[in-house]
Structure 1
Amino acid sequence: MDILLYMQNETAKIAILVAIATLIFLLMPVFLILYIRSYNRHKKNHFVEKQLMQETFSAEMLKAKVEVQDQTMQSIATDLHDNVGQLLSLTTLTLNSVNLNDTEKAAKKIENSLSLVNKSIKELRELAKLLHGEQLVSEGIGYAIEQEVNWLSKSGVFQLKVQNELTRLEHFSPDKDLIILRLMQEIINNIIKHAQATHIEINAYLENDKLFLNIAEDGVGFDYDNAKKNNTGMGLSSIRKRMEMINGKLMLNSTVGQGTSISLEIPYP
């Protein structure tokens, strides 16, 4: 009797195990189908997100390129008016004052006029190079920064202290270079328009596969926390957005009445 009961229990256990195994066997395809559907859905969403990110980046690149070209054209127009125009006007005045009866003075003035014409030609050649906006970054971010510093120096408004170690770079990252250049232009424009600064210090270098661009000035400063909270103040939103796109870090310190310093840290290349 006990043996019979034992066999019945064992049979029941086996039946239960068979039923569980059968249920698992039947449910496995269902779970597999659900998993495949979930995987494909996530894969599709990832592809759409990636495509959207690529489109956003491409649009931002185009925007940055247009802004760089606009900024370059403004710089060229200013230099034509303030520098080349002044040289040519001075040349005209000098030539008009030549008295051919006074051979010695005439020769001196003609020599001075030729010198002014040569300076004008040199300036025009530099401007001609910049008419091709792509060249600003095609020769590397170090060259592009150097050109921006040259424009800033010509204004004669600021005392500059510049250390640009990026001119020695052998490998470039054109897409990032364009964004970095636009970031620098945006920061410099903000200084010119708002800071009321007299001194600007620019430090650019590469360290541990990271590009650092530090810009400090001694202007009026502002309340950064308040500006960040209200999403206002010197195009900070645009600067932060562009830094996020190239996986960079933005560090800004500003004190009212004591100036502002901005540090950009960007993986490079």
Structure 2
Amino acid sequence: MLKKLNSVRYMFIRSHLYGLFLNTLILLTVLLSVDVWFDPAWLEAGAVLLFIVVYVFIGFLTALYAGFRSSGDMKQRLDYISTMITQLARGKLSSRIYFQEDDEIAGLGDELNTLGEKLQQQKDALLKLADEKGELARSAHKAAAIEERQRLARDLHDAVSQQLFALTMMAQAAEKIFERDPVRAKEQVGDMTQMALQAQTEMRALLLHLRPVHLSGESLTEGVAALIEELKQKCRIEFHVDMEDVEGLTKTMEDQLFRIVQEALSNVLRHAGADEVKVTCTSDGEEVFLHISDNGAGFHVEEKKGNKASYGLKTMQERCEEIGGIFSLRSRKGEGTHIDLRVPVRFTMEGETG
């Protein structure tokens, strides 16, 4: 309530009421002076009181009306400015605002337009830089492939190889105790089954990284559809996919978004333990919205920071920011993980007039 009373409209009304109060004091002072100096017969206390009451009542109504009307234009123009600031904060840098008046508020609108143009130029430069970086990355693909093979070799050694070694040891132990303790041997066989399934999941996730880093002449929608179709044949996961064909994406942007989807699905296979995954991609003409979620185990985001397992999440965020996007991650234990990306695809030069 107090915040509303401090608005521009109420400030105008208060200023008019303050003017009414001052005028009433001045009028009373004049009437008192006339009464003291001239003592006219018509200046009676009852008449003065009636006049002041009527004057204050009419002045009060006039002040409310005048304050409300005079503040309307000011409030509207300030609302335009507030809306533009909000749009700039949300990444809609094509927003513009123009006023016919030539005053301080119009000057503020011009400065906001200039700020929007500069931010747009910087974002365009960032996208151009991302394209150039993508070209350099493709030219250095062989070196990157070698590095990727080395990383996969380390992952194979750290995860799958150790699990296979443990399976071998458990199988040998089960074979030795089968005659003496069949129940215990059966329990070990069950543990071996679970470990084999885990090793299989790890291997599928690692094989996912062996797919091409770049789309081979396919669009983002086609590449993601082919990737998920392949996973459907290998995993017991139900995929819900809704991908729109998005115009305005450069080759680098499509490659980066495809790689983010790869990384996210790899994390689902290795860590989430989910049986449902949702992938959606939509666009409003200026931005593309990519959403990836699962119903898996989830995690506490703060606990994940600094952990080795968070490397993939950090990589996805960096890839998103390289193409001028905004990366958002939400996850809680037992409630799955949700990843949302907003990436600009097109800028228009048409402004908004206020």
Q: Which has the higher contact order (CA 8 A, sep 6+)?
A: 2
TM-score under structure 2 length normalisation? 0.39
TM normalised by structure 1 equals 0.50
The structure with the largest strand share of the pair is 1
